[in-house]
Structures are given as structure tokens and as C-alpha cells.
Amino acid sequence: MVMLAAYSEGAAHLTDGGLLAQWAWLIPVVPLVLMFGIVFFGKRLPMKGWELAEAAMLFVAVYGVALLVMNASDGISYEGSVEIARIGSFTLEWGWVVDGLSIMMYAVVGVVGLAVFTYAKGYMKGDVRYTWFFAAFTMFAGAMLVLVSAPNLIQLVVGWELVGLASYLLIAHYWEDHANVVAGNKAFLVNKIADVGLFIGVIIIGVTVGSFRFSDILEAIADGDSALQQVAFWGGLALFIGAMGKSAQFPFHVWLPDAMAGPTPVSSLMHAATMVTAGVYLVGRMFPLFQTDGFAVDVKAIMMVVGALTLFLTGLIALVQDDIKKVLAYSTLSQLGYMVTAMGAGAYTAGLFHLFTHAFFKGLLFLCAGSVIHAVHSNNMSDMGGLRKAMPWTYRTFLIGSLALAGIFPLAGFWSKDEILASISYDSGHGGGTIATVVLGVAIAGAFITAFYMARAVYLTFFGEYKGHAHPHESPKVMTYPLIGLGVLSAVAGFANIPGIFTGFTQWLAARPQVMGDHHAESIDFVLAGIGLAVALLGIAAGTRLWKRDAATQQARDTFRIPVLYPVLANKYYLDDLYAKAVVDPIKGPIARFTNWTNTYVIDGVVNAFGAVSVFLSRIVYQGVDQRGIDLAFNAAASATGEAGDAVRYTTSGRIQQYAGGLFVGAVLLVVGFLIFT
């Protein structure tokens, strides 16, 4: 296998994309404007605001795909910006980047978003806050597009926080149930903690380079800026901690499974295109920082280890979950682990290619899960079973999604996962060292686990006997059509990048002015691909052996009780308990009490003192200055005017001839005055 830093000379033949790129600022702006449209006019529209949300996603999808097609024929790299404010030498800019990386994200957000928004029309039908839901949902997509289109770190942070806000609103959408509010708070707070890392990284790098623009920072890296080299490790690490929060890497992953409290379309979009991809996107956007010698290359080892831990540990938890959405949530964590591991192995293309394919099949799997939940009115797989006859389309598409996720040839996941494995394998021989070799083993084991838990989910949901109480039925067409669309994409998306045969995706992503310096496979590594496929098939076989069974033993076998491992997995490695005891309780207990005491006695005392002084001063002002000074002057002026009026009113006698006399005398006086004074 030959690995090359190919297309590094790609910068030479990039176009500026013409009008399509210059008007790309519309991509984040249209959803955000339409969001306000939904907020203010949504309830009066015939479809309660859904049509505006759908129009926004349709616009983004069409625009994104048009850019993708244009980028595929000849690479686009364009950057536009508008100055918003100037503080000293620092310029605050709003801008939009149109290059290979952001175009790929526009297309993914648009296409997956379009499918999810269409589906949500059916899924959310009859919801009490239907219009509000679509307003927040549109904001969610718009915020992600703000993040993706950012040409500088400041705008990225704005998008980053807007995504966090929108996800908070959507996770806690069913706020009547307190648990959902808690889940929303958890997602928000865990993200906030990791965001501190992001802010530190942004400040370190931005201040050192003297500019927050990606192009300036990446140029400084290309020039070997020595000041940046000194802080690159800490800056890169801090940025990566921010990315770990949004992309839910171990140990910040705890918010993501709880985020399942939101409506299923939210989970689908959150896991596929918006939110969790943001961290991987950030690493991809800043990739040369981690890849160039002398800068934050050491962070890559941390990335690889964190990714490997995440992909393995969370994959195991997925095995013991009963809630179908939680299985998928842990699966997302595991796949995000793959992406981060790939980034850590220096494989920019492989990591983002997995993001690309994962967006389609994970979006699909969540929508299928939503369709099932819609039918059986329960999230638990113990209430499902045997649904393949009642819900044929959901079953077929779920199967495609599962096989794609498990990495079965020739579906999308096979190609991207194989490329990740190939990259880690390459890295183990080129600087990654022992860590990369171990991580390669973990990643292959992860492929087995992935196939294993997806087999379990498929069998428990669609095979065996139905155990629930509702009457399952296939979902309406507005929900099944998006499933079919995403199913087709899950099947074929992998063909966008076949090493040695068709390297379209590699070239799309390489359309950036800077050299990424990543490596990717020049041809298929048949041995590694064979191992990956064999391991996945083994996982499916093991899953079939364990869970494809007759109705009687179905329940008994699912418990899967390995003495020590099961309780550890069921309790999610006790991480939530650890956080609750070590972080939440101290804050809720002594710190909160102390803060409350300080608030009541110190801060309130100061505020009350200010209040008392103000009251005293106002009394003086009122009685002394206002009543005796100002009012007196006004009263005097008023009564003087009144008396003057009384005095002169008698001149209005009503005698016309008196007036005429006055007129004549006046005229004479004017003439005399004129004669005297000229």
C-alpha cells in the first residue's frame, strides 16, 4: 500500500467559485431568518410553520449539493467577510468560507436536514409546541451552518454556542417531564465545561498569531511561526478539549445518551449532521495545527487514545441498553471515537469521510427508531419484537442502516471504516508507534462490537414475537419516504471514495488553500479490508447466535449477564455516579449553600444599602429641590402669565371701530418710525 500526501499541490488549481460562492452567506442566513418567520408568523400559516422550516432546509440542501457538484468538477476555495466592529487593532468579522470542507458540511446538513425535517412533520404531528419545535429545530440547523461557515474562531464560537443553546431547547422539548429538563441541563453544562477548553484554545492561538482568522492561523503554521510553535501544544490540546465536549468523547460523553430525552428527529439531526460533528469539524478545520511538525503533533496521540477509549468503551455499553435510542446513542459515541481516532492518526480525509457516511446511516437509524417508537409507543426493545411484518419499510431501511454501520461490503460504512483502519495501520508504521498499533487492535475489536450490538438491536426489534401492547402499523408516507431516501444514500455514499478507483471525496476535501498534509490510501488494502469485513460478519454471526431465537427464550437471553462486566456496563462504568458525587454534589451542597449565604447577607446587604441611600437621597431631592425649588419656579411663571392675561383682556372690547382706529394709529406710527430711522 502506498500512502501519499497527495493533492498537496491542489491549491494551485482552485477556483473562487464565482457567484455561487459569493452568495453562500445565504446558507446560514436563510434558516436563521426563516426561524424568526416561524416564531412570529408560524402559528398563522396553514402548516403551522413547518413549511418555512422545510423551505430553509430545501434551500440549504439545494445550495449545498450545487456547491458540492461544482466543487467536484473544479475545486472551490472562497472566503468572504464583512466587518462588524473594530476594537483597537482587532477586527470583528462575520464571514463565510466556501471550501472543500465546509461545502461537504453544507451538503450533509442540508440533505440530512431535509430528510429529518420532512420526517418530523409526521413524527411531531399533534405536539403541543409544534410551531415552537420547528423554530428551535431551524435554529439548530442554522447555528450549525453559522459554525461551519465561520472563517474565524470568533464566529465559530458563536455558532458553537448557538448549537449548544438550540440543543438545550430541543432536548428539553418535553419539559413537562422533569427528567427531560435535567437531561437538557446536563447536556448544556457538560458542554459548557468543555467549552472552557475551547475558549482557552481560541485565546491562546488567536492572541499568539494576532488574528482569529483560520487563513491567518494556518498561514502562520505553514510559515513555521516560532511564537505559535511554543504554545501550539497547549492551544491544540485546549481546542481538542472543546471538541471532546461537542463530539462527546470520553469522559465528556455522558451528556449524549441523556440527550435522547428530546424528540427523535432531534436525536437524528444531532447525531448525524449538527452538534456532535462540530468537534470533528473543528479538528478538521485546524488540521495543519496537529499535523505540521513542530506544532501540536503530540496532541494527536492523545486524540488517538481518547478516540480509541471512546469507541471501545461506549460500544460495550450499547450492548446492554434496552432503550433503542440509547443503543444508537452509544453507537454514535463509538463512531465518533472512530472519527477522532482517524484524526489522531493524521487521516483528515478518512475521519471526515466517516463523518460523511455516518451522517446518512445514523440519521437513517434514528429516524427508523423514531418510526418504531411512533408505532409501539415505547422506547424499550423489550416492548418491541417481530415488527418486520407490520413495518416493512422501516425494517428494510433499518437493516440497510445497520449493515452500513456494521461495515458490511459494499455499504457506506465499509468504505469509511476500512479507510480509518488503513490510516491507523499506516500511522503505526510512520510515527504513531506502539500506540497506533494498539489502537488499531482496539478499532478492529470495535468493529466487532459494532456489528454485535447492531445485530442485537435488529433481532430484538424486528424478529421474534411482538411483546408490546399498542398495535404497531407502518408510519405515514411523510415518514417513510425520508427513510428510503436516506437508505439509498447509506447504501451508495461509500462509493464517493474508493482508494485507487475513485477518489472524489479526497479531492473534494482537498479543495482548501492550505496543504493539509494528511495521508490516505492510494489503493485498497485487501488484507485489512478483509479483516474488517470478517470481524463485522463475525459480530453479526455472534449476534444471530445469541438473539435470533424463539419467543420463549427471548427475554431470558437478552439479559446477557456476565458477572462482573454486566453491572459495570449497565451502570455506564459508574461515571455518572462519579460525576454526581465528585462534581454535582459538592456544588449543590457546601458551595451552593455558601453562595446562597453570600448572596443573602453580603450581596443583598450591599444592594439594600444602596437602596436605602437612594431612598434617603430621593426624599431630600423631592421635598427640597423638587417641591420648593423647581415647582415654585413653575408656579410663579404660570400665575404671572395668568395675571398678565387678566390685565390685557379688557383691550378686547369687541368694538370694530376701536380696532380700526388702533390699526390706523399703528400704521401711522410705523410710517413715522420708518421716516425717522432711515
Q: Applying CB under 8 A, which residues contact other proteins?
A: 649-650, 652-657, 660-661, 664
Q: Give the nearer residue to other proteins in terms of CB position, either 598 or 658.
A: 658
Query: 277 φ, ψ to 5°?
Result: -75, -15
Q: Give the nearer residue to other proteins in terms of CB position, either 617 or 667.
A: 667
Cell 430711522 -> residue: 677
For 128, other C-beta atoms within 10 Å of its C-beta total: 8
H/E stretch holding 120 reads: helix 100-123
Tell me the closest approach of the beta carbon of residue 656 to other proteins, in angstroms: 5
Tell me the closest approach of the beta carbon of residue 676 to other proteins, in angstroms: 20
Tell me the closest approach of the beta carbon of residue 639 to other proteins, in angstroms: 20
Tell me the closest approach of the beta carbon of residue 647 to other proteins, in angstroms: 12
Q: Give the nearer residue to other proteins in terms of CB position, either 594 or 664.
A: 664
Q: Which three cell numbers stand for residue 660?
A: 380700526
Tell me the closest approach of the beta carbon of residue 654 to other proteins, in angstroms: 3
Kindly give, in sequence order, each residue whose CB lies less than 8 Å from that of residue 471, ignoring residues fewer than 6 positions away.
none
Tell me the closest approach of the beta carbon of residue 635 to other proteins, in angstroms: 25
Q: Give the nearer residue to other proteins in terms of CB position, either 73 or 657.
A: 657
Cell 415505547 -> residue: 378
* DSSP conformation letters of 566-631: HHHHHTGGGHHHHHIIIIIHHIIIIIHHHHHHIIIIIIHHHHHHHHHHHHHHHHHIIIIIIIIIIH
- Four-residue CA torsion sign, 278, 284, 285, 287: positive
Tell me the closest approach of the beta carbon of residue 677 to other proteins, in angstroms: 23
Tell me the closest approach of the beta carbon of residue 671 to other proteins, in angstroms: 13
Tell me the closest approach of the beta carbon of residue 664 to other proteins, in angstroms: 6
Q: Give the nearer residue to other proteins in terms of CB position, either 565 or 665.
A: 665
Q: Give the nearer residue to other proteins in terms of CB position, either 634 or 664.
A: 664
Strand partners, 320: none
Q: Are the C-beta atoms of 208 and 270 separated by less than 8 Å? A: no
Tell me the closest approach of the beta carbon of residue 637 to other proteins, in angstroms: 23
Side chain identity, residue 341? T
Side chain identity, residue 351? G
Q: How many CA atoms lie within 13 A of 144 on its CB side?
A: 33
Task: Determine the 3-state secondary structure of 553 from DSSP.
Answer: helix
Torsion of CA 58, 60, 62, 65, to 10 degrees: -140
Q: Cα(296)–Cα(238) distance, rounded to whole angstroms?
A: 11
Q: Which of 20, 26, 49 is nearest to 37 (CA)?
A: 49
Q: Give the nearer residue to other proteins in terms of CB position, either 73 or 651.
A: 651
Q: Give the nearer residue to other proteins in terms of CB position, either 226 or 651.
A: 651
Tell me the closest approach of the beta carbon of residue 655 to other proteins, in angstroms: 6
Q: Give the nearer residue to other proteins in terms of CB position, either 429 or 662.
A: 662
Q: Give the nearer residue to other proteins in terms of CB position, either 18 or 661.
A: 661
Q: Give the nearer residue to other proteins in terms of CB position, either 650 or 677.
A: 650
Tell me the closest approach of the beta carbon of residue 658 to other proteins, in angstroms: 9
* DSSP conformation letters of 17-56: -HHHHHTTTHHHHHHHHHHHHHHHHGGGSTTTTHHHHHHH
Question: Distances from the Cα of 592 to the Cαs of 185, 455, 589, 607, in angstroms?
Answer: 17, 46, 6, 20
Q: Cα(648)–Cα(506) distance, rounded to whole angstroms?
A: 96
Tell me the closest approach of the beta carbon of residue 669 to other proteins, in angstroms: 15
Q: Are the C-beta atoms of 272 and 359 separated by less than 8 Å? A: yes
For 87, other C-beta atoms within 10 Å of its C-beta total: 7
Q: Which three cell numbers stand for residue 464?
A: 421474534
Query: 83 φ, ψ to 5°?
Result: -75, 130
Q: Cα(38)–Cα(35) distance, rounded to whole angstroms?
A: 5
The CA-to-CA distance between both ends of the chain, in Å, stands at 111
Q: Give the nearer residue to other proteins in terms of CB position, either 582 or 675.
A: 675
Tell me the closest approach of the beta carbon of residue 672 to other proteins, in angstroms: 16
Tell me the closest approach of the beta carbon of residue 665 to other proteins, in angstroms: 10
Kindly give, in sequence order, each residue whose CB lies less than 8 Å from that of residue 426, ignoring residues fewer than 6 positions away.
1, 3, 345, 347, 519, 521
Q: Give the nearer residue to other proteins in terms of CB position, either 19 or 647.
A: 647
Q: Give the nearer residue to other proteins in terms of CB position, either 434 or 652.
A: 652
Task: Determine the 3-state secondary structure of 9 from DSSP.
Answer: helix
Q: Give the nearer residue to other proteins in terms of CB position, either 434 or 651.
A: 651
